[in-house]
Chain A
Amino acid sequence: MTTLTEAPLNDADGLLPSKKKSSGGGLGTYILVRFFLIIPTIFILVTLVFFLMRVIGDPITAAQGGRLPPEALAQRIHEAGYDRPILVQYLEYVGQVATGNFGTTITDRRPVVEMIITFGTATLELAINALIVALLVGIPLGLISAYKRDKAPDAVLRFFAILCYATPVFFAGLLMKLAFSVWLGWLPVAGRASTRTELAMGSLAAPTGIYWLDALRSGNMAAFGDVAAHSVLPALTLGLLTAGVFLRLVRTNVIGTLGKDYVEAGRSRGVSNYRLVTKHAYKPALIPIITVMGLQIALLLGGAVLTESTFEWKGLGYQLVQYLNARDFVAVQGIVVMLAVIVAVTNFIVDVVAALIDPRVRY
């Protein structure tokens, strides 16, 4: 414990001793400005995805080419308006997206918005489960790692964090399937629930699509147990990926705050090291963690695509791959744009939360 001064690497400006006077009234303006910054981000991504998807040709030829006779194909292209100039189509698409209309999928002819809501709930459920695992694993381990800095537990935990990053989610999923489903036989191999449970929940009026909620509402405890058993492995797989990031983040930030003057002052008064970590250094270290949690949403969604494919978890990611294989680019475009919106909005919310907690962010 000789070198105490260490600032977090990812948030240097947040910790530099800046004595700027914040006038306090800037919050409203800050939120407003930040809100309007979402629009160009989404606009750019919509534009990018639209033109990239059109480079390969119109969606109908891509999906049905070779399967339909040329005349029928031309007919459908004309009906959908894909024979008009690309710029006209682009402007029309942007207008539709702005009013919340993402078009109709080509393969199964469903409104894209409806499809996204159906499968989005499954992804939401997976992401929440994974986030809970990540926080439960990452934060305590990060605290231990900072508390035992440069000792054996710290080395082991840091190695664990790197291992979490280095293991692709689908390989982690495969190992867990092998261990817990095939060899030990404790947990189901894949899916969100067994068929019987899905039937039991199907009779519910206005299902939420979030299975554990539906299972609770149906009052069927066996169904709830079944849903819970199915969600353990996917949540662990995706959660551990993020847990490694949280662990490292908590460690660096707590070590950073441990070097602060007020912590030194506490130490000089004889406050125990344990108490310093849990009471003094912990809370200020959480602010950058909230910010980074927002950035993790992108990683989490990318990981969700892979996790869903590994466990046949029928969410947006699983469906995205199905549509990609079917070359249904209207659906793909819709899902990709939707995910972009989710990421942009989450980042906005995270920034606002960070500004509410820490006045320095609002400058």
Chain B
Amino acid sequence: MNATKVSGRKQPLFYRLPVISHFRSSVGLQRGMLVTGLVLSVVFLLVAVFAPWIAPYGFAQLSDAAGPFPTQQPPSPAHIWGTTVGGYDVYSRVLWGAQTAAVVIIVAVAMSIFLGVALGLVSGYFGGWLDRVFVVIADAIYAFPSLLLAIVMSIVISHGQSSFWGGIVACSISISVVFVPQYFRVIRAETIRLKAEPYVESAKVVGASSIRIMGRHIFKNATRTLPLIFTLNASEAILTLAGLGFLGFGIEPTSAAEWGYDLNKAIADASSGIWWTGVYPGTAIVLTVLGLTLVGESINDLNDPRLRGRKKAVAGKGGPDSTAGAQAALEAESRVL
């Protein structure tokens, strides 16, 4: 903690929070990307939380006081985005779908982070044959088409279809099988690097247990890159969930609204010119993934001084120190990788 005092005035906690500090250091186009991404992500989260109140109908509702819903109805005042072949209200299902997607992202990514970080720490810290086995397995899984693995897992877990929570857990596990190797790799590499740091050695000399060293000294330092992987994986999780749903291995339509499933049904509609059943859920996926990816990309660029845009006044006419700065950044980068 003393080190920060040496470097001078300490920023208030608020300005040091991940996304806020990134926002403050961004300019121009990068700030635009970050803000666009943040707006899309926040809208997605708000819709996910408030779907029950915003949506005019339930996700599996087929009729109201005025009688059963018409099927394949083009957008009208009663159903502003039309109805599907099964008689569902497209607008309501798109809104509810945000909730399903959000829950799956959170469960899947939380599970993968927990497992990936734990395995990566243990594997990197202890090394030896255990490490070798983990690495070979992780590499084998990593090289495999992720969607296929997710399909196989979803069949194993739920036999292909299930209730709301059953389906969500099955989908999340299927997705996290794909992600665990990624977290594992990153954390393992960091752990191996940190293991050689003097402060870890001194902790060992003092007699701290392995668990304490891993938990206190390595964990906190090895997880710096996680916010970035989180945003990138969140977008991948949505795509995998939609892919599973599209192929018919996702969540039952009566248990939850899921964009991929709706798109599956919409493919047949498209041939007869019915566009509203596919375009709306599809656009929802694109915007959500776009938002999360933009946030992740911006954080990535802003973390890397070489990619970070400079304010015009500072950039000026290429100061003499820019080469030295970039060189230092390059070295820092190569150490991390």
Cβ contact within 8 Å between B323 and A321: no
Cβ contact within 8 Å between B140 and A56: no
Chain B 248-287 near chain A by CB (<8 Å), digits 1 or 0 = 1100000000001001101100111101001100100110
State in angstroms the CA–CA spacing of A177 and B267 once bound together: 9
CB distance from A73 to the nearest CB of B (A): 18
Give the chain B neighbours of A7 by CB distance below 8 A.
Answer: 306, 330, 333
Cβ contact within 8 Å between B322 and A3: yes
Summarize A's interface: helix, strand, loop or mixed. helix
Indicate if A44 sits at the interface (CB-CB under 8 A).
Answer: yes
**Which A residue sits closest to B291, measured CB to CB?**
A166
Give the chain A neighbours of B152 by CB distance below 8 A.
Answer: 49, 52-53, 332, 336
Contact of A163 (CB < 8 Å), options: B272, B286, B316: B286
Asked, given contacts A171-B263, A336-B148, whether A306 binds B271 with beta carbons under 8 Å apart, the answer is: no
Contact of B143 (CB < 8 Å), options: A163, A182, A325, A347: A347
State in angstroms the CA–CA spacing of A69 and B21 once bound together: 67
Cβ contact within 8 Å between A170 and B267: yes
Indicate if B94 sits at the interface (CB-CB under 8 A).
Answer: no
State in angstroms the CA–CA spacing of A48 and B140 once bound together: 10
Indicate if A36 sits at the interface (CB-CB under 8 A).
Answer: no
Chain B 305-337 near chain A by CB (<8 Å), digits 1 or 0 = 011011000011110001100110010011001
Cβ contact within 8 Å between B29 and A155: yes
Cβ contact within 8 Å between A52 and B333: no
State in angstroms the CA–CA spacing of A150 and B309 once bound together: 9
Range class of the B interface residue count: 35 or more
Chain B 225-249 near chain A by CB (<8 Å), digits 1 or 0 = 0000000000100010011001111
State in angstroms the CA–CA spacing of A53 and B157 once bound together: 10
Indicate if B159 sits at the interface (CB-CB under 8 A).
Answer: yes
Give the chain B neighbours of A340 by CB distance below 8 A.
Answer: 144
State in angstroms the CA–CA spacing of A182 and B273 once bound together: 6
Give the chain A neighbours of B147 by CB distance below 8 A.
Answer: 302, 305-306
Cβ contact within 8 Å between A168 and B282: yes
Give the chain B neighbours of A301 by CB distance below 8 A.
Answer: 145, 148
* Top 10 A-B residue pairs of the complex, sorted by shortest distance between their CB atoms: A171-B282, A302-B145, A166-B289, A302-B147, A5-B326, A44-B140, A2-B318, A166-B290, A12-B337, A174-B278
Given contacts A48-B140, A305-B147, 10 further A-B contacts (CB under 8 A): A3-B306, A5-B323, A9-B304, A16-B334, A41-B136, A48-B141, A52-B153, A163-B286, A305-B145, A324-B247
Q: Residues on A close to B: CB < 8 A? A: 2-3, 5-7, 9, 12-13, 16, 40-41, 44-45, 48-49, 52-53, 55-56, 150, 155, 162-163, 165-168, 170-171, 173-175, 177-178, 181-183, 189-190, 295, 298-299, 301-302, 305-306, 309-310, 320-321, 324-325, 332, 336, 339-340, 343-344, 347
Task: Show 21 A/B contacts (Cβ-Cβ < 8 Å), sorted by A.
Answer: A2-B315, A3-B322, A5-B327, A7-B333, A41-B139, A45-B140, A45-B144, A166-B285, A167-B285, A170-B242, A170-B264, A171-B286, A178-B273, A178-B275, A182-B272, A183-B273, A298-B144, A301-B145, A301-B148, A343-B143, A347-B143
